[in-house]
Homo-oligomer: A and B are copies of this chain.
Amino acid sequence: MKNERVTVIDIAKAAGVSKSTVSLVLQGSPLVNDGTRAKVTAVMRELGYVYNRGAANLRQSSSKSKILGVVVNDLTNGFFAELAVGVDMVVQSAGFVQFLSNTSESLDRQSEVIASMREHGISGLILSPARATTAADLKPIVASGIPVVVVVRNVPGARVSSLVSDNQQGTFASVRHLASLGHRRIAFLGGFNDTAVFEDRLQGYRAAMAAHGMKPDDSLVVPSAPSRAGGVDAIGRALAIDVKPTAAVCFNDAVAFGVCDGLRAKGLEPGKDFAVVGFDDVIEAKTAVPALTTISVDPQAMGRRAAQLLLKQINAGKAEAESIISSVRLVVRSSCGAEGADPSVKVETGL
């Protein structure tokens, strides 16, 4: 009972039909008589038959393996865990199963796991790329014709589909909200200024500043590491300029928390003496003191959407690259000093 696999031939013998008929039953073909189908399925159950997809894949085109690859850059980050759960939902209900691997931002690991997944015959890949991933890194898998959907971070120049959140819209909404509260000196704090995400968020900030009649002032833009420590640093520098800001749009929530720390260290109360807005809506944003006003991106919905897009491409048989920008919404809490003050600026999430 332990060593011997039950195969389609064993079933055939026991049911008194040929292996071809069993195969037909397995695929739910309408060609086979209802009586035989019933007998065959009964025998399968009785003998404890387990379908061997490996063997099936060998014969069929590899795009029918019913395996997806999911590669994320940091699974310890709640954002990506949620994303993975979203993917998992639609993957499961489509009868697929997913390889999931973590790269910890390492390009080498990323290449390795993608290669390994290819050997196992994935029919598509969802990738949240490690930092500094280039189109060249994706070349092999793209050339093989396996559909790829890149999420969260774009890979410029790669001929793959992408699904990123609307960074510009996000910071635009943040600035608009702060402006509606009367702020005129609004800083943009944190983030490495050599990344595409930074560029997008900064652009949304600048557009909104212009749209609300504030003249551009680059001394208000203070990059830093996209971390809590970076936030402390950035607010320190921002408060050292001539005409001090009264509010800040931060690169992400981690920076925003750091900004709050830095403000308190200078005797200022975030949400009261200075308005702070984050980006991401991490779990702590809700429970922190003060609760953080931020841009929410609903990673789980993004995961679902990415999986749907990928499955569509797999079924279509050809990878027509498609770019989707997923909308975001402003969540007003207390760190901006106006809890629930301006619900009109909410941008609804798409999907």
Contact = CB atoms under 8 A, between A and B. Distances in A.
Interface residues of A, number: 53
Taking each of A78, A113, A116, A288, which has the highest tally of chain B beta carbons within 10 Å of its own beta carbon? A116
A62 B112 CA distance: 23
Nearest to A318: B2
B84 A75 contact: yes
Interface of A: 1-3, 5, 48, 50-55, 57-58, 62, 65, 67, 75-76, 78, 81-82, 84-85, 88-89, 92, 95, 97-102, 109, 112-113, 115-121, 140, 143-145, 283-284, 287-289, 300
A276 to B, nearest CB: 16
B98 A97 contact: no
A75 B88 contact: yes
A5 B145 CA distance: 11
Contact of A97 (B113, B287, B289): B113
A316 to B, nearest CB: 15
B283 A67 contact: no
Given A2-B145, A98-B101, A113 B92 contact: yes
A288 B289 CA distance: 9
Taking each of A97, A117, A287, which has the highest tally of chain B beta carbons within 10 Å of its own beta carbon? A97
A81 B76 contact: yes
A99 B102 contact: no
A50 B85 contact: no
Contacts of A115: 50
A247 B305 CA distance: 47
A82 B140 CA distance: 31
